[in-house]
Amino acid sequence: MKGIGKGIGKNKKGLTPKQLQFLAKIKAFIKANSYSPSYEEIKQMTGMKSKSNVHAYVQSLKKRGYIDDIPYSKRSIVVLP
């Protein structure tokens, strides 16, 4: 996991209420299971209709500096401090 989150968390921006709920569900899942959820699991947890919506939220949180992901990995979400 070398390079994950390198310098990203320093530029955090505000989140919408839905993004806060989305992030909270990811954090709760990781705390309960000790690994990150798959996009399919996030879709089920949040009630979203498609994984493309999940992807859009993940990319938005990544852009804002709250999470990062590991390329080419199924359980790739890393919550940044």
Q: Kindly report, residue by residue over 29-73, the tens digit of the pLDDT.
A: 999 999 999 999 999 999 999 999 999 999 999 999 999 988 888
The whole-number pLDDT of residue 50 equals 96
Cα 60 off chain centre by: 9
Question: What are the residue ranges spanned by the domains of the chain?
Answer: 26-79
Closest C-alpha among 30, 70, 68, 34 to residue 42: 30
Q: What is the pTM of this model?
A: 0.81
Q: 30, exposed or middle or buried, with CB in 10 Å at 0-12, 13-18, 19+?
A: middle
pLDDT at 8 over 60: no
- Which class in CATH covers the domain with range 26-79? mainly alpha
pLDDT at 2 over 70: no
pLDDT at 5 over 90: no
